[in-house]
Structure 1
Amino acid sequence: MHAVLGQPPSRIAQVTLLTEGTYPHSPGGVSVWCDQLVRAMPDVDFRVTAVTATGREQPVWELPSHVRAVESIPMWGAVPRGKEPRGRDRRAFLSAWERLLTSLLAEGGRGGDGERAGTDELFGPALYDLADWADAGTLSAGLRSEAAVRALAGLWRRPGTDVAAALPTQYDALTGTDLLEHALRPLAAGAPTGVAHAVSGGLATLPGLLAHHRDQVPLLLTEHGVYQRERYLGHRTGPYRWPVKSLMLHFFRLLAREAYRHSALITPGNRYNRRWEEHGGADAGRIRTVYNGVDPAAFPLAGPEPEVPTLTWAGRIDPIKDLETLIRAFALVREEIPEARLRIFGGTPRGGEDYRARCEALAAALGSAGAVSFEGRVDDIRTAYAAGQVVMLSSISEGFPFTLIEAMSCGRCTVSTDVGGVREAVGETGLVVPPRDPAAMAVAALALLRDPVRRAALGEAARLRVIDQFTLRQTIDAFRGIYTGLSPAEPRTGQQYGGVTWMSRVRRADTAAGSGQRAAAEGTA
């Protein structure tokens, strides 16, 4: 899986990967994808700008020598240092802040395409103006000020806002301003060099958008999942009142549109994502679907099945994976096959402990505690696929899941929920069921557990499908060509990107006044 694939010489100089909550600090499918991409191109200098939780996370991936630097942008760590703007600067700062808020509140109106265009015209310029204050080291302090909170509270009270009937409170304004302050922290990241490649939508795109705006750095956007859709799913059960949810969802929607408008190329991992991107405003002419791939030699046939009827699942323990539906389905399976087992492989990310406990409690309540095992992370993921007759996928949102095509490459048949690019991956080689439907999932699992001949035929067809359509070689060749096409004829240097060309009016004034440059967060890999 980590073998370096031989490649021809390339004129690609530098690529900056922009990530959020994934590579190189977390496991998971997107991180696997990044690692494969990086290792397959040893002739390219990579840098990584990673949006993380606290900034104290250690890499869980061994980084090759051509990953020249990693910058961590903490979202919830220590409050960035800096002083609130004063005097004339304070008025200019609040003007930019109010324009951003106005775009978010107008986005919630019921106007037509003309109003939508107006919000786009407000959002982008206001966002880039606020980036100047991030350069000066004053953005976070300014957004934590009483004046910033009052600005949001005042705008919410204007007639016509879609949340006025919800009677937003001062606490709502404080919460909304705080969440936006955290969301805008990536504006203070170092300047991407070469091609800025955002491997998700949302906050990871902010440094790339800023580099494109300031110096026409080409921005490449690869969405493995539908970031905007996942924000909607997450906010359904969020702890905030509707005014705050509305504010943040409008922010993520406008940020997605800004990224779609300014990306040189958008490379979704499946056609399902492509449809979402087109609906969100992306130009169809700048979208190219590039499927995830695996190396079939690294995922050979799994070998003999276990003697006990067993379902397996692999991934991270997370609500979006909907393990509760899987556990309920398994309880129905055990009613028909009492000796059946469910083995769940994968780590529990920080903050997910309560969800895992809830899943364990559900298994116990359904009388399946002794038949459901949480195995944790394994050194070799192939162990998970070989451990059962059928590999399950129960997610409510996916892109083009690695666990699915890896299991297929191993010759295991699958039962998967009909989300994202699952149908594109599986074709006719596995069973696909509606999400959040334990009964349908149980029926599919039982059909395969009871029919070894069908299982074997589907597993063989699945491996052949991977070899034909979803190999790592195809993925790498596609992105090598994309990088080559987007790379500047004369690659710019990190010094050029970070120097005078990028110094805004605010930053020049700040430097002239003798204040210190913001501390560099890069650490060489």
Structure 2
Amino acid sequence: MRIGLLTEGGGPDASGETRPWRDRLVHGLPGHEFEVYTLERGPEDGVGRCSEGGVGRGPEDGVLDGVMDGVRGRARVARVAPLHGELPAALRWRPGGWHAGARGRRARRRFAECFGDLAAGFTAAEPPGGRALPPVPAADGAADREGQADRFAAGLYGLARLARDHGGLPELLRSEQAVRILESACRAPGALRAAHGARVGDLLAVTEELERALRPLSLDWYGTGRYDTDRYDTDRYGGSAGASGSDGGGLAAVDLCHATAGGSVALPGLLAKRFFGTPLLLTEYGARLREHYLARSGVGASAPVRALLGAFETALAAETYAEAALVTSGNARTRRWQEHCGADRERLRTVYPGMDATGFAAVPDTAADHSATLMWTGTVEPAKDLVSLLHAFAAVHRAEPAATLRIVGAPGPGPEDAAYLAQCRVLAAQLFPDEAADARSAGDNPVSFEEIGGPGLPRPQDAYAAGSVLVLSSVAEGFPRSLVEAMLSGRATVSTDTGAVCEVIGGTGLVVPPRNPRALADACLALLLDPGRRARLGAAARARALELFTVEQNIAAFRGIYLELMSRTPCRPAAGAGPGGDSEPRLFTRPAESHVPGRWAVAGGAAQAAPPTGLAPSWAAPDPGVPTAEPVVASAAGSVTEPAAEPAVAGAGAGADRQRGARP
């Protein structure tokens, strides 16, 4: 199976390990061929220093990081493109050539219609109650929302067609024409209240961000596969029916698109799904829409800009969830966000991030003695709330003078993170002044600040081996990797109730409210003073982590998902085949089993009912008139006949109209 892996560079996702997770997926599924398509988020990584081949490198160059010489799996770096700066002409469909004359006027008219639909689709006013992401209401309200979503989709795919036929979409999105169209949508009756106050500077900022977000529409990633003209209004926007002939590589030639994040990263998969019928799998280990809101909540952007960009991201997320064949999340919290944004519950599945348990599972069990070392690990930043942890440990130290606290971690990349670490050091010196003075000579300060790689802690698992109880004091958390590592190491844990903590812990640790030093201190003392309970919780935590959060579990889940999606996807007709007859898409037209030598379809028993999948059972005798490469199905009378063509799954095959609001 050829899989187009749509990824994002420039930073990790909520799991903290985008590239390791992706690399392990490729490494663990050697039976599939992966083609990696990467969008670089920001200039901080440097376009030229991209470890996946650099901008514009061809599919023959590069092997994915972490896949050692293709021993078990191999991935081709198909394309890399930036989401910042100017889009190089070599990465576009057709650079320039339309600006003047009748061709340019037609392109600008088409752009005005498409971008007008897109803007009208996401600038519509929020429903009563003022919530940005409400459940879809009934009756007229639902019809209005559906109409807005359809208009947004029509504009989105119309812009994709325009980029393919004429090129120059980035210039059009930054043009004065785009600003005027967006202004008209903001001033229209029923538009967002915050959008009514948008000034020229706000509109310019929004169009600039839209150009970056919609940049995948202009990329040359899609090959020359056939466009699905039945799902596109060519009379309205004009243009040809699309390229003819067989696929010419790119996403037109893959069997499945797997987007490792939402937003712009999933846009290429949306186009492949819309125009080529390629199924789309979306994996989100963090709610992209939530991250967008948090990023825009700070100062620096006006209220109209935040409202318009938030509305656009919401509409794009809803379209992605509606078109994806399956949406996987890393925890139940992200899954609730996906449902809140309109994802169909029947197409949602939780697949926990896989972690390499080899080094942590080798950590010896905690000693059943009175050792009293609390361990905190992670990235030092304000959201980790080390201030509350230090105040809680002060209470623990008064009740148990032998207790110590080891804070292991480096400050985050933000400018405030280093200052926060310095503040915590000062607070520790204030809370333990006598010990801090004695530490100059004796080195017995009960609070220490260390980093992995320092004296005594060369590896992360050494930190867990040195502690008796792991403490997590965060006020905001996604998927708590340090918590899982401690569980794999067989350590009891005390955590604050935030993010996916309760889902990860289950019943194997103690959970307290965030920003509550008293409760945190009581829970830590309860485990430090009860070695037997501490050992039992540590053993249960290790068993739970080995069952749910290992790389093997993650790879096995995606192996099953890939096969499930392909089993529900009709084979696309051959290039140039007309509608009707044998050229219609059929399920299992040529299953993999048909190429397996041996007597897998030889008669071996009495006639039985055909299995629901349409595959030939082992007892069915092949009909001499049926080619051996085709599956055979036994009829009720015992004769063997050619299987009837299966209907295409809604939204999976080319030409199947998506019914919004209907269950798949």
Q: Give the match's secondary structure for 2:285.
A: coil
Shift in Å at residue 240 of structure 1? 0.9
1:75 alignment partner AA: L
> Which of the numbers 108, 111, 114 marks the counterpart of 1:96?
114
- Counterpart CA distance in 2 for 1:203 and 1:379 is 39
The question of whether the paired residues in 1 share the 8 Å contact of 2:452 and 2:460 is answered with no
The question of whether the paired residues in 2 share the 8 Å contact of 1:18 and 1:197 is answered with yes
The question of whether the paired residues in 2 share the 8 Å contact of 1:23 and 1:34 is answered with no
In structure 2, the partner of 1:341 is 405
> Residues 176 and 433 of structure 1: is their aligned pair in 2 closer, same or farther, counting only changes over 3 Å?
farther
> Residues 454 and 51 of structure 1: is their aligned pair in 2 closer, same or farther, counting only changes over 3 Å?
farther
Q: Give the match's secondary structure for 2:284.
A: coil
Shift in Å at residue 194 of structure 1? 2.3
Q: Give the match's secondary structure for 1:112.
A: helix
| Deviations 1:259-303 (CA, angstroms, capped at 9, x unpaired) | 111111122233333333223222222223323344544431423
> Residues 260 and 398 of structure 1: is their aligned pair in 2 closer, same or farther, counting only changes over 3 Å?
farther
Shift in Å at residue 26 of structure 1? 12
Q: Give the match's secondary structure for 1:51.
A: strand
| Deviations 1:115-157 (CA, angstroms, capped at 9, x unpaired) | 2111210111211122234444412111121221222233223
The question of whether the paired residues in 1 share the 8 Å contact of 2:331 and 2:479 is answered with yes
Within a 5 Å distance, the mapping from 1:248-397 to structure 2 comes to 248-294=309-355, 296-303=357-364, 309-314=373-378, 322-323=383-384, 325-334=385-394, 336-337=396-397, 340-345=404-409, 348=412, 352-364=413-425, 366-367=427-428, 371=447, 373=449, 375=451, 380-394=459-473
Does residue 87 (structure 1) correspond to residue 102 (structure 2)? The answer is no
In structure 1, the partner of 2:147 is 118
Does residue 405 (structure 1) correspond to residue 484 (structure 2)? The answer is yes
The question of whether the paired residues in 1 share the 8 Å contact of 2:411 and 2:417 is answered with no
Shift in Å at residue 422 of structure 1? 2.6
Does residue 131 (structure 1) correspond to residue 119 (structure 2)? The answer is no
Q: Which runs of 5+ in 1 are unaligned?
A: 1-12, 497-525
- Counterpart CA distance in 2 for 1:95 and 1:413 is 60
Does residue 421 (structure 1) correspond to residue 481 (structure 2)? The answer is no
The question of whether the paired residues in 1 share the 8 Å contact of 2:149 and 2:319 is answered with yes
Shift in Å at residue 400 of structure 1? 4.3
Q: Give the match's secondary structure for 1:122.
A: helix
| Deviations 1:349-384 (CA, angstroms, capped at 9, x unpaired) | xxx331322322431453459846362689844244
| Deviations 1:412-461 (CA, angstroms, capped at 9, x unpaired) | 22233434433222111112234555555455445444544433222111
> Which of the numbers 296, 306, 311 marks the counterpart of 1:235?
296
Q: Give the match's secondary structure for 1:292.
A: coil
> Which of the numbers 22, 34, 54 marks the counterpart of 1:34?
22
In structure 2, the partner of 1:10 is none
1:373 alignment partner AA: F
Shift in Å at residue 344 of structure 1? 3.6
Shift in Å at residue 211 of structure 1? 0.6
Shift in Å at residue 39 of structure 1? 1.1
> Which of the numbers 178, 188, 205 marks the counterpart of 1:158?
188
Shift in Å at residue 409 of structure 1? 1.1
TM-score, normalisation: structure 2 = 0.64
> Residues 281 and 326 of structure 1: is their aligned pair in 2 closer, same or farther, counting only changes over 3 Å?
same
Structure 1 range deviating more: 305-314 or 124-133 = 305-314
In structure 2, the partner of 1:17 is 5
In structure 1, the partner of 2:589 is none
Q: Give the match's secondary structure for 2:451.
A: strand
Q: Give the match's secondary structure for 1:233.
A: helix
How many equivalent pairs are there?
A: 475
Structure with the greater alpha carbon radius of gyration: 2
In structure 2, the partner of 1:201 is 262
In structure 2, the partner of 1:7 is none
> Residues 67 and 271 of structure 1: is their aligned pair in 2 closer, same or farther, counting only changes over 3 Å?
same
> Which of the numbers 83, 91, 103 marks the counterpart of 1:75?
83
> Residues 474 and 232 of structure 1: is their aligned pair in 2 closer, same or farther, counting only changes over 3 Å?
same
Q: Give the match's secondary structure for 2:353.
A: coil
Shift in Å at residue 174 of structure 1? 1.0
1:148 alignment partner AA: A
Q: Give the match's secondary structure for 2:349.
A: coil
- Counterpart CA distance in 1 for 2:357 and 2:264 is 33
The structure carrying a bigger helix percent of its residues is 1
> Which of the numbers 108, 118, 134 marks the counterpart of 2:126?
108
1:210 alignment partner AA: L
Does residue 459 (structure 1) correspond to residue 467 (structure 2)? The answer is no
- Counterpart CA distance in 2 for 1:150 and 1:113 is 29
Q: Give the match's secondary structure for 1:106.
A: coil
Does residue 174 (structure 1) correspond to residue 204 (structure 2)? The answer is yes
Shift in Å at residue 206 of structure 1? 0.8
In structure 2, the partner of 1:45 is 33
Q: Give the match's secondary structure for 2:329.
A: coil
> Residues 354 and 438 of structure 1: is their aligned pair in 2 closer, same or farther, counting only changes over 3 Å?
farther
Shift in Å at residue 242 of structure 1? 1.2
Within a 5 Å distance, the mapping from 1:220-231 to structure 2 comes to 220-231=281-292
- Counterpart CA distance in 2 for 1:238 and 1:353 is 16
Structure 1 range deviating more: 213-222 or 404-413 = 404-413
The question of whether the paired residues in 2 share the 8 Å contact of 1:330 and 1:442 is answered with no
The question of whether the paired residues in 1 share the 8 Å contact of 2:38 and 2:79 is answered with yes
- Counterpart CA distance in 1 for 2:258 and 2:485 is 25
The question of whether the paired residues in 1 share the 8 Å contact of 2:407 and 2:448 is answered with yes
Shift in Å at residue 391 of structure 1? 3.1
Shift in Å at residue 232 of structure 1? 2.2
In structure 1, the partner of 2:51 is 59
> Residues 44 and 233 of structure 1: is their aligned pair in 2 closer, same or farther, counting only changes over 3 Å?
same
- Counterpart CA distance in 2 for 1:380 and 1:490 is 49
> Residues 159 and 346 of structure 1: is their aligned pair in 2 closer, same or farther, counting only changes over 3 Å?
same
- Counterpart CA distance in 2 for 1:223 and 1:25 is 9
1:375 alignment partner AA: E
The question of whether the paired residues in 2 share the 8 Å contact of 1:317 and 1:355 is answered with no
Structure 1 range deviating more: 126-135 or 373-382 = 373-382
> Residues 372 and 358 of structure 1: is their aligned pair in 2 closer, same or farther, counting only changes over 3 Å?
farther
Structure 1 range deviating more: 263-272 or 294-303 = 294-303
Q: Give the match's secondary structure for 2:375.
A: strand
Q: Which runs of 5+ in 2 are unaligned?
A: 53-64, 90-94, 129-139, 223-250, 431-435, 437-446, 577-664
What's the % identity of the aligned pairs? 38
> Residues 397 and 335 of structure 1: is their aligned pair in 2 closer, same or farther, counting only changes over 3 Å?
closer
> Residues 118 and 464 of structure 1: is their aligned pair in 2 closer, same or farther, counting only changes over 3 Å?
same
Within a 5 Å distance, the mapping from 1:465-480 to structure 2 comes to 465-480=544-559
